[in-house]
Amino acid sequence: MPSALSPNKLRRPTLTKGLAGWFLPNAAPRNAYIELDAMLAGLNTSLHTDTHTSHIYSCAATEKLYALSKQGEDGGMVTIIGQPQWKSAHLATIAAEASHSAALAAAYGENSDAFLEQIGGNFAFVIIDSANGTVLTGVDRLGHFPLYYCQTSNTQDKGLVFGSSASTVLAHSGVERKILPQGIYDFIYFHMVPSPASIYQGLSKLPAGHYLKYSAGNIEIHNYWQPRFSESSDKSFHSMAKELRPQLKSAVDRAVTDFSTTGAFLSGGLDSSSVTGMLAELSEHQARAYSIGFAAEGYDEMAFARISAKKFGVKLNEYYVTPDDVVDALPDIATSYDEPFGNSSALPAYFCAKLAAEDGIKCLLAGDGGDEIFAGNERYAKQGIFEAYHKVPLALRSHVIEPFTQALPSQINLAAKAKSYIDQANVPLPERLQSYNFLNRHRPEEIFSSDFLAQINTASPAALQQRVYQLPPDASTLNRMLYLDWQFTLADNDLRKVNHMCAVAGVDVAYPMLDDELIAFACQVPGKWKIKGKNLRHFYKKGLHNWLPDETINKKKQGFGLPFGVWMQSHQPLQELAYDNLLKLKKRQWLNPAFIDELIDLHRNGHAAYYGELIWVLTVLELWLDTHFSNG
């Protein structure tokens, strides 16, 4: 086991790419540079900055700005961040010879209605079209970069404020900073606050694959991209499976700019092993990978990481996270986010990124996305079992099966299982995916105070999921679940987790599994090939058979899950950290004090891992609130 990481205080995240600006049609602020400096402090970036002024005032911070000119007049400003990929050779040439912002300006000038069809990769952009009094701002198909926006509260100088972080937008003098009660409820439901809302009243964020159009004081949100899933193929299973490995290799190659300073997260699972293996094949020198372990039964995957590292000749760097690490780092990690963020795997992701940074790595390759693209989550296969019930004729279900099952004594184990199966099967998708959600296992009135619930729409999370679930045209049940996870699990959760923790640790991150071409390839793989019975990622495993280690292909999925609930049972400092914050949360009068007491008892005497997760979520919430809203 390696020695502990250097104990210096967590650094604030430094964004290597970011946007910050505003659009005021009627007046310019008196202290524009002061305003911009305040927003940049929220963005916390050392990027080169510039301003652009005309009869419309706007500012932005990014790597480069580009003036948009129309008929000899100063027509506005264009900027784009990230690693955009241009579909036409003409635009790619402009990007290479001038800048990506210049290429965006050219695309917009050629076709202002369809310019987004020319852009792929990961990006966020802003176009201020002064001639038309319009602002366009958007994010890429999978939402690699967050983009927050808000209309200013001053009705006389009403305009739009935008930025790559909530803190950036909130730093503008025209934006109020106030907690949105619905955001608290949504956070406890999702363990993060999903787009398009935020934890702040009046402050929104763009979902993946969307852009905003602001004109004449009005905001319109448009979904500009939807995946096209295929349920059949002209190619054979074998021929498509042979394409997978070169597709992966090309995706990793496109993600790397400097092999000498690039490493890989390596959990030992399918995706991190695939990315690490391809990095090793492409690198001229020995590739480096970074793994996190836990001294807790059922959580440690280090043995699988070592197997993959040995197979591909990779130098593996290991670190074992301890309960004391959690006690020391959690307060800083929880409060470093713009919004409360309750994914407990953020902490091991941070320690892994920090280990890499101290080893001289500048960019880490992450395997996030493979499960959501090639169908690797257990809930996908499980839903097939429930969906099979709906193939039974409705009359038979309603008049025979369900009355008979309900009449059976609950004491009979088989009867209880049958009732549970029917109850879950009768919950429609995608709500059924949330069967184990804390807020579905406990009534809202049990958890929250009546005054708090009076401000909440408890049906909002389910309605949001249903709306996103229905977006892909002509998609199967499996592919709708995949797309749902692209938004909630990837864009609003995993990417926010890994991006931010890498920024705090001081390294960049890239996601080869989310490469445009690889996603397009995955969309052409029929769903019946992705999952075969209960065999998750059937196509993927067959495609990489005899390349990935057999142990990796056959292992049970775990990930970077933190054994917080298990550790908390016996580690006194962890208990004190959690209980102190739960006590503070009681005083906010949002949750019923009796439920918090019950939660502690359920953790001690019931399911430690399950209820430990809720204790983590509430602890993170209070830590965040205590720093950002100390008065409650």
Q: What is the 3-state secondary structure (H, E, C) of 175-206?
A: CCCCECHHHHHHHHHHCCCCCCCCCECCCEEC
Neighbouring residues of 219: CB distance < 8 A, sequence distance ≥ 6: 149, 151, 160, 212, 213
Segment 385-433, tens digit of pLDDT: 898 898 899 999 898 888 888 888 877 888 888 888 898 999 999 999 9
Please compute the mean of the pLDDT values over residues 274-289 and round it to a whole number. Answer: 97
Tell me if 54 sits within 8 A of 8, measured CB to CB.
Answer: no
User: Looking at residue 69, what is its pLDDT?
Assistant: 52
What would the DSSP string read from start to end of 438-476?
A: HHHHS-HHHHB-HHHHTT--TTHHHHHHHHHHT-STT--
Of all residues in the chain, the percent with pLDDT exceeding 70 is: 89
Q: Which of 50-59, 71-80, 191-200, 298-307 holds the top average pLDDT?
A: 191-200
Q: Which architecture, in CATH terms, is 20-223?
A: 4-Layer Sandwich (3.60)
Please compute the mean of the pLDDT values over residues 335-347 and round it to a whole number. Answer: 94
Pairing of strands 288-294, 315-321: parallel
Tell me if 498 sits within 8 A of 290, measured CB to CB.
Answer: no
User: Looking at residue 44, what is its pLDDT?
Assistant: 63
Nearest-angstrom CA–CA distance, 249 and 512? 9
Nearest-angstrom CA–CA distance, 310 and 294? 20
Neighbouring residues of 396: CB distance < 8 A, sequence distance ≥ 6: none
The residue assigned the tokens 């301003």 is 51
Tell me if 557 sits within 8 A of 378, measured CB to CB.
Answer: yes
Segment holding 343, helix H or strand E: none
Is residue 48 over pLDDT 70? no
Band (pLDDT 50/70/90 cuts) for residue 49 is very low
Neighbours of 296 (CB within 10 A): 16
Q: Which of 170-179, 180-189, 336-345 has the lowest mean pLDDT?
A: 170-179
Strand partners, 294: 321
Q: Which of 125-139, 452-466, 596-610 holds the top average pLDDT?
A: 452-466
Q: Which of 1-10, 104-113, 295-304, 334-343 has the lowest mean pLDDT?
A: 1-10
What would the DSSP string read from start to end of 278-333?
A: HHHHH-SS--EEEEEEESSTTT--HHHHHHHHHHHT-EEEEEEE-HHHHHHHHHHH
- Dihedral sign, CA of 300, 301, 306, 309? negative
Amino acid at 137: T
Higher pLDDT, 604 or 321: 321
Instruction: Phi first, then psi: give them for residue 611, nearest 5 degrees.
Output: -80, -20
Nearest-angstrom CA–CA distance, 563 and 574? 12
What would the DSSP string read from start to end of 574-600?
A: HHHHHHHHHHHHHTTTSB-HHHHHHHH
Domain ranges of the chain: 20-223, 379-480, 564-628
User: Looking at residue 413, what is its pLDDT?
Assistant: 81
Tell me if 118 sits within 8 A of 86, measured CB to CB.
Answer: yes
Query: Hey, what are 304's tokens?
Result: 């699988």
User: Looking at residue 68, what is its pLDDT?
Assistant: 62
Q: Which of 125-134, 173-182, 538-547 holds the top average pLDDT?
A: 538-547
Segment 428-449, tens digit of pLDDT: 999 999 988 999 989 999 999 9
User: Looking at residue 84, what is its pLDDT?
Assistant: 95
Nearest-angstrom CA–CA distance, 328 and 571? 13
Nearest-angstrom CA–CA distance, 474 and 230? 9
Q: Which of 185-189, 597-601, 602-606 holds the top average pLDDT?
A: 185-189
Of all residues in the chain, the percent with pLDDT exceeding 90 is: 70
Q: Cα dihedral angle (560, 566, 571, 574), rounded to 10 degrees?
A: 60
User: Looking at residue 157, what is its pLDDT?
Assistant: 65
Band (pLDDT 50/70/90 cuts) for residue 588 is very high
- What end-to-end distance do the CA atoms of the chain give, in Å? 42
Band (pLDDT 50/70/90 cuts) for residue 1 is very low
Please compute the mean of the pLDDT values over residues 517-540 and round it to a whole number. Answer: 95
Please compute the mean of the pLDDT values over residues 193-215 and round it to a whole number. Answer: 97
Query: Hey, what are 44's tokens?
Result: 């916390």
Q: In whole numbers, what is the pLDDT of the chain averaged over residues?
A: 89
Band (pLDDT 50/70/90 cuts) for residue 46 is very low
SS3 591: strand
Is residue 294 over pLDDT 50? yes
Instruction: Phi first, then psi: give them for residue 264, nearest 5 degrees.
Output: -140, 140
Specify burial of residue 388 (Cβ count, 10 A radius: 0-12, 13-18, 19+).
Answer: exposed
**Radius of gyration (C-alpha) of the chain in whole angstroms:** 25
Is residue 606 over pLDDT 50? yes
Amino acid at 159: G
User: Looking at residue 54, what is its pLDDT?
Assistant: 35
The residue assigned the tokens 């003036």 is 67
User: Looking at residue 59, what is its pLDDT?
Assistant: 47
User: Looking at residue 11, what is its pLDDT?
Assistant: 56
Amino acid at 234: D
Q: Which of 283-292, 347-356, 369-378, 623-632 has the lowest mean pLDDT?
A: 623-632
Segment holding 222, helix H or strand E: strand 218-223
Query: Hey, what are 611's tokens?
Result: 């209820």
Query: Residue 567's closest CA among 559, 557, 575?
Result: 575
Nearest-angstrom CA–CA distance, 61 and 17? 9
Please compute the mean of the pLDDT values over residues 73-93 and round it to a whole number. Answer: 87
Is residue 137 over pLDDT 90? yes
Q: Which of 19-33, 174-188, 268-282 has the lowest mean pLDDT?
A: 19-33
Higher pLDDT, 298 or 163: 163
Is residue 56 over pLDDT 50? no
User: Looking at residue 577, what is its pLDDT?
Assistant: 96
Pairing of strands 148-151, 160-163: antiparallel
Please compute the mean of the pLDDT values over residues 349-363 and round it to a whole number. Answer: 97
Specify burial of residue 396 (Cβ count, 10 A radius: 0-12, 13-18, 19+).
Answer: exposed
Query: Hey, what are 294's tokens?
Result: 């836990």
Segment holding 140, helix H or strand E: none
User: Looking at residue 16, what is its pLDDT?
Assistant: 60
User: Looking at residue 561, what is its pLDDT?
Assistant: 75
Query: Residue 207's closest CA among 117, 124, 146?
Result: 146
- How many angstroms from the chain centroid is the CA of residue 512? 15
